[in-house]
Amino acid sequence: MEEVDVEPAVTNIPAASDAKHLGFAWGPGDILVYETLYKASGAQGSGCSFIHEVRKDEDIYSPNLRKLFNESHHIFVGLQTIREDLPSKNKKPQFVSISKNYRSVIRACMEELQQVAVSTKDAEVATQYGNQVSILLAIELIWNLCEVLFIDAAPAGSLLLHLLDWVRLHKADVDEKATEVLQSESPAEHHDYWDVVVSYVLQGRLEEARQMLVKQATLHPAARNMYKLMDNLLSKMPFYNPGGTQTLTEFDVKWRHWHGEVNRCLQDNSFASNKHLDIICKIIVGDEDTLLEHKELLSTWYHFLVTRLLFSHPTVKPTELHYYAQSCMTMFLDARSVPEPLDNILLAAFEFDIHQVIKECSFGSNLREFLLLEYASGLFTHHSLWQLAVDYFDHCPEFGRVYLELQIEHIPLDTERKALKVLRICEQRQMSEQVRSICKIMAMRALRNNRLGSALSWSIRAKDAAFATLISERFLQDYCTRGTFSDLDLIDNLGPAMLLSDRLTFLGKYREFHKLYGEKRFSEAAKLLLSLMTAKIAPRSFWMTLLTDALPLLEQKEVIFSADQTHELMFCLEELTSSLSHSAAGTDKPTQDDDIEQTKVELLRLALARNLAMAIIKEGTIDA
């Protein structure tokens, strides 16, 4: 709740040299600053290669306030789930209880901060915590008033009682003084005694005032009658009982009657001989001048307002409040002093101008959504509290999603666990773009570190076929260079993930071929090998390897490939060589690789021919 027009704070950047121009760029919660040469034309840039990050020393980094954020987030989430189908009058007590919940959380935080502020030895830290405490105090004061006026929406009669509670809650020094007085040897002669009595009366705590007066009465037996009269008046002051059977009008009548009686006592000069009792009598009759004489004891204009209402108009209606508020404030404050921001906020509350309250508390437009967006964006810049922000964004129907989409990709993902949490948030909200992008980042990182299994697991999560293809290529490359498969545990156990991409399917099936071969199930292996080529699952570039793998099967004593299968193999070979010759047509002279290729092809042709022959013979033979 800062002053709106203040001098902007100057921050020196010590590492930057003097008299240099600084360029800057806004970040989500900070500014990046760099040295630059600011010239209209010519060479740009400077010799210094540093970038400075300037960050406001935000309160959100304080551990005590973090508790406040977390607890209030918990209450917020609970609040959003209140069922819509409850009629409004049933919701009110729930809202009041939630409001009290929020307030108690704020109070708890305040007390902790106060303890720390008192116990710390560092003066600067103590001041900082002290500031935070006073801000929270003001927040709770405003909140309490808003709860009374807007959420509880007390009608005339109860309204004053609630306001009395409000004032009593925020004026704790009376009790402190009272304790001091009572603990002294002779309380009635303590110099603060009458201050305490008057303060009690000003707060409407008449029972306690009477108890204090008894002590004075015992000291002055001569004036016993006067004290008895005062005690009588104080005991008979009517207070409205909202739960009782008395209506407001009946209460009003009773109160006027009592008020008249006090007035008569005043006119009769019954207390003229005792200055203090006279003052008290004038107070309870509602004499403004006497009230104003006790500004120090009242200390705030809103206390004055409530006291004045208590003793002159206890059946005040909510709609009448603002008249009294404005006039009280004017009367209380000197002509010279300017109302503080807090005063304006409270005045706006008394005028039931919610928008004004919010506006005075912050700046800008008055949408609940805008406030939530601001709050959540602030939370998002925190390295840890971003998770809370997500829930707030969820409840901003217009812009929440857009904000979330923009910000969620900027969260640094150091560990898989954090990435999983962010992904879960994105998946729950069907933010498929972000899911794909995050999975791709994690998969690339895994690939770079040669963690092919992790990379595959990320691409499965994102259902990213292209990436799965990339990974399979890596595996196949590895195989070609090393002759064996790495990461067999992964390839052997692909399961349905195999279907994610063609290349991945091929990889799985190729590995299966190797397994079948290793188990000497040659005919099955042969069938699989053939299907890989004919069903076009294998990439063309790999066909040579597959055909070479077929060689040992062709060279077996036993005929494995049937005649038809051999025909198909030959066909594949022809296809392959024709395409190769097409591409090789442009080259100048045959290289060594080409020679090897040529040899391979010749070997294959020979093997295929021999096999075909044997197959035909075998198939043509009738077993005797």
**Shortest distance, CB of residue 386 to another protein, whole angstroms?**
9
For residues 23 and 28, give the distance between their C-alpha atoms in angstroms, rounded to a whole number: 17
Distances (CA, A) of 304 to 134, 200, 286, 315, 347: 21, 13, 11, 17, 13
Which residue in 608, 619, 467 sits closest to 530, CA to CA? 608
- Cβ of residue 44: shortest distance to another protein, in angstroms? 33
Name 195's Cβ contacts closer than 8 Å, sequence gap at least 6: 177, 297
Q: Please, which of residues 483-542 interact with another protein by CB under 8 A?
A: 486-487, 489-490, 493-497
CB of 381 to another protein, least distance (A): 13
Q: Least distance from C-beta 462 to another protein, angstroms? A: 13
DSSP annotation of 484 reads S
Minimum CB separation from another protein for residue 593, in Å?
A: 32
The verdict on 103 binding another protein (CB under 8 A) reads no
Name which position in 85, 124, 334, 414 contacts another protein (CB under 8 A). Answer: 414
265 and 229 Cβ atoms separated by less than 8 Å = yes
**Contacts (CB under 8 A) with another protein, residues 457-476:** 457, 460
Question: What is the nearest approach in angstroms of another protein to the Cβ of residue 496?
Answer: 6
Q: Is 29 in the site for another protein (CB under 8 A)?
A: no
With binding defined as CB under 8 A, does residue 383 bind another protein? yes
Kindly write out the interface string for residues 420-459 of this chain, putting x where it contacts another protein by CB under 8 A and - elsewhere.
xx--x---x-------------------xxxxxxx-xx--
Closer residue to another protein in complex, CB, 133/142: 133
Nearest to 358 by CA among 148, 168, 150, 110: 150
Number of residues near another protein (by CB under 8 A): 42
Given the complex with another protein, which of 114 and 274 has the nearer CB atom?
114
Segment interacting with another protein (CB under 8 A) among 33-41, 317-325, 382-390, 574-582 = 382-390
Q: Which residues pair with 36 in a beta bridge?
A: 21
Least Cβ distance, residue 151 to another protein (angstroms) = 22
> Closer CB to another protein, residue 247 or residue 449?
449
Q: Return the number of the residue (94 or 599) whose C-beta is nearest another protein.
A: 94
Taking the complex as a whole, the smallest distance from the CB of residue 388 to another protein amounts, in Å, to 8
Q: Report yes or no: 281 and 206 within 8 Å, Cβ to Cβ.
A: no
Nearest distance from C-beta of residue 414 to another protein, angstroms: 6
Give the one residue of 120, 290, 387, 545 binding another protein; rule: CB under 8 A: 387
SS3 288: helix
2: how many CB neighbours lie within 10 A of its CB?
Answer: 9
Q: Which two tokens stand for residue 254?
A: 């009773």
Instruction: Give min distance, CB of 378 to another protein, in A.
Output: 17
**Residue (61 or 150) nearer to another protein, CB:** 61
* Min dist. Cβ of residue 24 to another protein (A): 23
- The answer to whether the beta carbons of residues 204 and 310 sit under 8 Å apart is yes
Q: How far apart are CA 265 and CA 326, in angstroms?
A: 31
Residues 40-79, interacting with another protein (CB under 8 A): 63-64, 66-67, 70-71, 73-74, 77-78
Task: Compare residues 97 and 449 and give the one whose CB is closer to another protein.
Answer: 449
Q: Which of residues 442 and 554 has its CB atom nearest to another protein in the complex?
A: 442
The answer to whether residue 384 forms part of the interface with another protein (CB under 8 A) is yes
Stretch that binds another protein, among 323-331, 416-424, 505-513, 588-596 (CB under 8 A): 416-424
- Give the whole-angstrom CA distance, residue 318 versus residue 316: 7
C-alpha to C-alpha distance for 139 and 134, rounded to whole angstroms? 9
Dihedral (CA of 459, 461, 462, 466) sign: positive
247 versus 432: smaller Cβ distance to another protein: 432
Buried-state track 43-80, b at ≥16 Cβ within 10 A, e below 16: eeebeeeeebeeeeeeebebebbbebbebbbeebeeee
Interface with another protein includes 415 (CB under 8 A)? Answer: yes
List the interface residues with another protein, window 162-201 (CB under 8 A): none
Beta strands of 399-503 (E only): which ranges?
none
- Taking the C-alpha atoms of residue 589 and residue 575, their distance in angstroms, rounded to an integer, is 22
Q: What minimum distance in Å lies between the beta carbon of 214 and another protein?
A: 35
C-beta separation of 491 from 485 below 8 A:
yes
Kindly give the pairing relationship between strand 21-26 and strand 51-55. Answer: unpaired
Q: Which is nearer to another protein, 456 or 559 (CB)?
A: 456
Of 70 and 114, the one with the shorter C-beta distance to another protein is 70
Q: Give the integer Cα–Cα distance in Å for 63 and 289.
A: 48
Helix axes 193-202, 173-183, angle to 10 degrees: 140
Binding site residues, another protein, CB under 8 A: 63-64, 66-67, 70-71, 73-74, 77-78, 383-384, 387-388, 414-418, 420-421, 424, 428, 448-454, 456-457, 460, 486-487, 489-490, 493-497
